[in-house]
Structure 1
Amino acid sequence: MLVAFWIALRRPVDARIATALDRVDERLIGLTERIEAAAPAPSVGPSSLDMIGSTIDLDEVLGRALAAVGALPAVDGSSIRVNRANGEVSVAIQGCVRPEDAPFLTGPPDGAPFKAGMMSWDTEETHALRSGLVVPIGPDGTGTLAVYSRIANAFTQDSAALLTAIARHAGPAIQNAFRLLDVQNLAATDTRTGLRSALAFADELPREINAARRHGRPLCMIQVDLDDFGLINRTFSQETGDAVLAEFGERVRATMRWGDTAYRNSGGADEFFVILPDTTRALAKRFYGRLAFEIAEEPFGEAGTLTMSGGLAELRADDTVESLTARTGALVTRAKQAGKNQLADDSTP
C-alpha cells in the first residue's frame, strides 16, 4: 500500500521538481558568477538539489538538505526545523551546532512572515559562532533552514538567495515525507479506539523487549478483555459497542504514564494490550488498579457500568514475543474462569 502511495505521490511532484530545478539552475548560474570574485563557488547544483527530493523519508530529506547547505561558503554549522500539522517538530543539525541550540534561528519572534533573517554575535571566544542566516521553508510555516559561521558578517544577500533556493527545493520533499508519515500513522492507529493498532503492536513489542534487555530494565505487559462485551452489541447495537470502545480508549489513555503504550488486538474487538516499560510487577498492578477504577467509575452510556479481566506478565530472561503474549492470554483466561472482573498475574502458578 505504501509503495503504491509513494508512486502516486511522486508522479505530480516530478514535474514540479523538474520545473523548480530549471529555475534554481538559472539562479545558481548568476549567483555563482557574483560570488566567484570573493570565494570559491559553492557546489550546490542540480545533482545535490535533486538528491533532496529523491526520498520521502523525513530524516533523509532533512539530512540531504543540510548536506546541500554545507556547500555554501563560510558555513560552520546548520540546522533545519520543520513542523507537522499535528504539532510534532523535527530538528536536524550539522557541524558545530549544539543539539539544545538547534532551533535558535527560527525567524521573527512574533511569528511574522519573512524572506530571510541575519544575525550577528559579538563574542571573545576564539571558535564561537559570530553570524547566522535563516530562511523559511514553505509559505505556510513548514519550518526554517539556518546556517551559522565563525566569521563575522559572513552572509550576504547572495547567501540568502542560495539558501532560499535550497529551502524552496526541500519544501515539496518535506511535504511528501509528511504525507508518508500520515499514512504510516493511520496504519498504526486503531480507528475505533484511537489506541495503537495490532500492526503497530507486532512492530513495537520486539523493540520494547530488546530495549528492556539492553538497558537491564523491567518490562511488564497486560492483556485486558472487557467482560461480556458481546452482550452490548446484541442487546443494544453495534453503534453502541463502537461508542463503548471509543470511550474505553479515552480512559486507557487518561490512565497511562508517558512511555506506556496501549494497543487493540485485531483478533478480538474487546481485547487490548498495554506495554509498560521500566515497570515492575508491583507497579503494573497499581496501574491496573487505576485503570479498573477508571472503567468502573462512570457508566459507558446506555451500556452501563462495565468490568474487565486482565492478565499481567513480567518479562523473563527466556521470553520471546510469542511466549510473553501467550502468557498474558492464558492469564486472562484464568481471570475469566475465576469469575471475571479481576487481574491474574504470573507471580503464582
Structure 2
Amino acid sequence: MSLRSRLTTAFLVVVLGPVLVGAVFVAAVMSHLADSRGDALASSAVTTVDSTLGTICERIQASAAVVALSHSSGGSADAIDMAQLVVDRRVVDGVVFTGLQDAGATPSPDVGAEAPDGAWVDCGEAAAYAGAGPIVALGAQAEVQNADGTVSVFSAFRVVDRGFLDRIANVADADLVLLDGRSDRLQVGDVDAGRWDATDAFLPLHIGTVATNVTPMYWTLAAMVFVSGLCAMGLAAWLARSTTRPLHELAAAAERVSEGDLDVRVPVHGRDEVAHLALAFNRMTAQTQAYVNALTASRDQMRGQLGRLGQTLTATLDLDRILEVILDTAMVTAGAEAGVVMLVDVDDADQLRQRAGEGDLGVAQPATIRLGEGIVGSIAASGAPAHGRIVDGVFDGRRRADTEPDARTIVAVPFEGRAPAETDEAGAPRTESGVLGVLVLYNRIAGDDFEPGDVDTLRTFAGQASVAVENVLLHRQAQRLSLTDPLTGLWNYRFMQTSLRREAERARRYQRPSALLAIDLDRFKSVNDTYGHPVGDQVLTELARRITGQIREVDLAFRHGGEEFMVLLPETDADGASAVAERLGRSVAARPFKVNDASGGRELRVTVSIGVAVLGEHADTANDVLAAADEALYAAKAAGRDTWRVAV
C-alpha cells in the first residue's frame, strides 16, 4: 500500500470512527428515549384510568351506603332526600330503591336517571366484568334490615356511555375503547393511536397513547453522517495528495501524536519536497486537534442533553427505577464500569444503603456503610464531591470499608434536599448537613482517572436524584394527608371504610375476632350552641388525643363524622373491647376539657357513649359491623349516656 493510501486510511479512521460511534450512540439514546416515553405514557394512562374508575366506584359505594344509613337512621324520607342530594351533586346518576314502602312513597321511589337495562359491573370488593353482554352501568348496593323483618336495597349507579368514557379519557389523556362485546364499539378518541394497552380492573378497556416516531430523526442522522463522511474523504484525499515525507520524520512525529501530543509540529526547511511534507503534516495535526476539540464540545453538549433526560425521569414516582436510569445514564456519560446510588437509611439516619447498582461492585450483598466510615461514608458525611485513584484500598487518607465496593478509581457526589434537618415533613431521612445520599461511579473505562468535568456532570445527575427522592416522599405525604381528618389528625371516613373491609376479610379468613367501638360525645350540640364551634373543635381535638392515648399502636382511630369517632381493635373479642370502652369512658370523664373561648379559659365536663360490636360475632361484613356498633351506641345513649353497651 502506498504512503498516500495509508495516510488517507488513517485519517478516515481517526475522523469517521468517532463520528460513526457517536451516531450509533445517539440513535440508541433516541430509541431509548422514545421507548421510555412511550412506556411512561402508557403506564401513566393505565394507572390513571384504574385510579379514576376506582374513585368512581368508591363514590358509588359510598352513595349507596349513605342512602342506606339515612334510611336506617331517619326513614325512607331521609333516604330519598339523601339520594336526591348525591344525584344533584353528580356523585351518581341515579339511585334505585327496592323493598321500600312508606306512607307517601311509591313502591320504588327511584331518584335520578332511569336504571338502564343490561349488564352492570358491581363496584364491590371484587369488581369485575363477567362478560355477559354490553356494559351499561357501574353500580353498588347497600341493604338495610327493616324493623318489620323486610330488607330494603339501595342501588346507586353511574351510566356507562360515551360521555362517561370521554371524561375518563380527558383525565388520562388517552384514547379509550370499551371491549364489552357490543357490535358497535363504544370508543373515545383516535382509534389509530400509536400504542394500546388494556385494563380490566373495573371495565374491559383498550387504552391508546401516543407513540413517538423517531424515523425522521434516524434519516437526518444518517444524512449528517453521510455528508460528514464525504467531507472527511475529500479532505483526506487532498492532504494525502499534497504529502511526501521522509519516513524517519513521519515516524517521529506520528509517535508523539500517538502519545496524545497534538501540539507537535514538523520543522520546515526550505521549499523542497521535505518542506512541503512538513507543512502538510502540520496542517493535518492542526485539523485533528480541531476535530478533537469539536468532539469534546459535542460530548459536553451530550452531557447537557442527558441532564435534561434526568429531569424528565423525575416526573415518575417509581424511585428505584428512576435511580437506576439516572445511574445508568451517568455511567455512560462518564465512561464508568460500575456505580451505586446510596441513600440514608429510613430507620437509621447514620447509615447509607444501596438503592441502585450497576456493574461488578465486588460485594455479595447490596452495599452499606456508616456515615463517616470508609471512603463513601466519609465523602457523604463531608457533603463535598471527590474524585481520584484508590491505592491499596486507601483514597485521600480514607480506607475502604469491607461493606463498600472495591475499585481502582472513584468519583462521588453527595446530594441533599431543600431542608437541612434530620427529617423533613415528608419523612425523608437526612444527615445533620441535610445529605440525602451519594452518587458514586467506579473504574473509568480504559483505566483512566476521573476528571473534574466528571464531577460537574455527576452534580447534574445527583441533583435529579435528590429531586426524585423528594418528589416521591412528597407524594407519599399527600397520600397520607388525603386519608386523615385535618382537625383531629385521626384517619378519615374513607380510610375507615377501607380498613373495615380489609379487617372483615381477615376475620373471615383466619377466624380471628376484631372489635369496633362507636364513640359519640354526649350533648355535643349544646357545647357548640353555648360556646361556639371553635370551642367545639377544641373539644373534638382533645377527645381525639385522649382516644389515641388509651389504645395500642396496632389499633386504628377514625373520625366518622361530626362528634362521632370509631376505633378498630384487631385481635380483640367482646371482653377485651368492653375493657377498652370502660377505660376510654373513664379517661374522658375523669378530667375536664380545658378550652379557650372568647371570654378566656374554661373547663368543660364531657362524657361519651360507646357502642361495641365484634366481627365474627355480631357481624361478618364492614357495613354490618358498623351498623351493629351504631345500634349498640344508640343503646348506650338510651341507657342514660356516659356508658357503653355491646351489640346483641
TM-score with structure 1 setting the length: 0.67
CA offsets 1:173-196 (integer angstroms, 9 cap, x no match): 444444444443333222222222
Distance change in 2, residues 1:122/1:181 (3 Å): closer
**Aligned residue among 66, 85, 93 for 2:324:** 66
Output one character per residue of 1:91-147: Cα deviation in whole Å (capped at 9) or x when no partner: 873457868958768955996543359875365x9xx84369562233542611355
Q: 2:406 aligns with which of 130, 151, 169?
A: 130
SS at match of 1:265: strand
Taking the TM superposition and a 5 Å limit, the aligned residue runs for 1:322-341 are 322-341=623-642
Tell me the residue number matched to 2:355.
93
Residues 1:316 and 2:595 aligned together = no
1:148 Cα deviation from its structure 2 partner: 8.5
Aligned to 1:38: none
Alignment of 1:207-218 (within 5 A): 207-210=502-505, 217-218=512-513
Matches within 5 A, 1:199-278: 199-210=494-505, 217-266=512-561, 269-278=562-571
Q: List runs of 5+ in structure 2 lacking aligned partners.
A: 1-50, 53-295, 358-362, 388-394, 420-433, 595-601
Q: What is the distance in 2 between the residues matched to 1:148 and 1:281?
A: 59
The amino acid across from 2:583 in the alignment is: R
Closer/same/farther in 2, CA of residues 100 and 147 from structure 1, 3 Å limit: closer
1:270 deviation in Å?
A: 0.9
Whether contact under 8 Å (2:415, 2:466) holds in the other structure is: no
More divergent stretch after superposition (194-203 vs 104-113): 104-113
Give runs of aligned pairs for residues 151-230 of structure 1, distance below 5 A.
Answer: 156=450, 163-210=458-505, 217-230=512-525
Quote the offset at 1:232 in angstroms: 1.1
- Which residue in the other structure is 1:15 paired with? none
Select between 214-223 and 323-332 the one with higher mean Cα deviation.
214-223
Partner of 2:591: 298
Identity fraction in percent: 23
- Bigger CA radius of gyration: 2
Counterparts in 2 of 1:99 and 1:75: CA distance versus 1, 3 Å: closer
Q: CA deviation at 1:222?
A: 1.2
How far apart are the structure 2 equivalents of 1:82 and 1:146? 15
Give the corresponding residue for 1:289: 582
* AA partner of residue 49 (structure 1): G
CA distance in 1, matches of 2:615, 2:487: 29
Distance in 1 (CA, whole Å) between partners of 2:578 and 2:529 is 32
Question: How far apart are the structure 2 equivalents of 1:142 and 1:215?
Answer: 45
Aligned-pair Cα RMSD in Å: 4.5
State the match for 1:52 in structure 2: 313
Q: Secondary structure at the match of 2:518?
A: strand
Quote how far apart the aligned CAs of 1:163 are: 4.3
| Offset of residue 231 of structure 1 | 1.5
How many angstroms apart in 2 are the aligned matches of 1:328 and 1:100?
51
How far is the alpha carbon of 1:331 from its aligned partner?
1.3
Looking at structure 1, the residues matched to 555 and 539 of structure 2 have their Cα atoms a distance apart, in angstroms, of 22
Describe the superposition over 1:246-298 as per-residue Cα deviations: whole angstroms up to 9, x where unpaired. Answer: 111111222222122211113xx110011223334333333323322221221
Aligned to 1:29: 299
How many aligned positions are there? 301
Counterparts of 2:354 and 2:616 in 1: how far apart (Å)? 37
SS of alignment partner, residue 580 of structure 2: helix
Structure 1 residues 255 and 101: CA distance shift in structure 2, 3 A: farther
Which protein has greater RCO, CA pairs closer than 8 Å, 6+ apart?
1
Could you tell me the TM-score, scaled by structure 2's length? Answer: 0.39
* SS of residue paired to 1:256: coil
CA contact (8 A) 1:62 1:80 kept: no
Residue pair 1:188, 1:199 contacting (<8 A) in 2 also: yes
TM-superposed deviation, 1:162: 5.0
**Conserved in 2, the CA contact under 8 Å of 1:221 and 1:314?**
yes
> Aligned-pair distance for 1:240?
1.8
Per-residue deviation at 1:27?
9.9
Q: Does structure 2 conserve the Cα–Cα contact (< 8 Å) formed by 1:107 and 1:114? A: no
User: In the aligned structure 1, how far is the partner of 2:462 from the partner of 2:383?
Assistant: 15
Match of 2:384 in 1: 114
Q: Match for 1:68: what amino acid?
A: I
Residues 221 and 274 in structure 1, CA contact (< 8 A), matched pair in contact too: yes
CA distance in 1, matches of 2:605, 2:580: 20
Given residue 310 of structure 2, which amino acid in structure 1 is its aligned partner?
Answer: L
Bigger Cα displacement from structure 2, 227-236 vs 201-210: 201-210
Tell me the CA shift for residue 210 of structure 1: 4.2
Q: How many Å separate the matches in 1 of 2:568 and 2:482? A: 19
Distance 1:104 1:112 in 2: 9
Deviation at 1:341, TM superposition (A): 1.8
Assess if the C-alpha contact under 8 Å between 1:219 and 1:314 holds in 2.
yes
Distance 1:168 1:213, change over 3 A: farther
In the alignment, is the contact (CA less than 8 A) between 2:417 and 2:435 conserved in 1? yes
Amino acid at match of 1:287: V
Q: Report if aligned partners of 1:135, 1:160 keep a CA contact under 8 Å in 2.
A: no
Identify the range of structure 1 (111-120 vs 219-228) with the bigger mean alpha-carbon deviation. 111-120
Distance 1:113 1:265, change over 3 A: same
Which whole-Å CA distance do the structure 2 matches of 1:264 and 1:279 have between them?
20
Q: Which string of whole-angstrom CA distances, capped at 9 and with x for unpartnered residues, describes residues 191-225 of structure 1?
A: 22222222332343334444555666542221111
Structure 1 gaps of 5+ residues are 4-25, 34-43
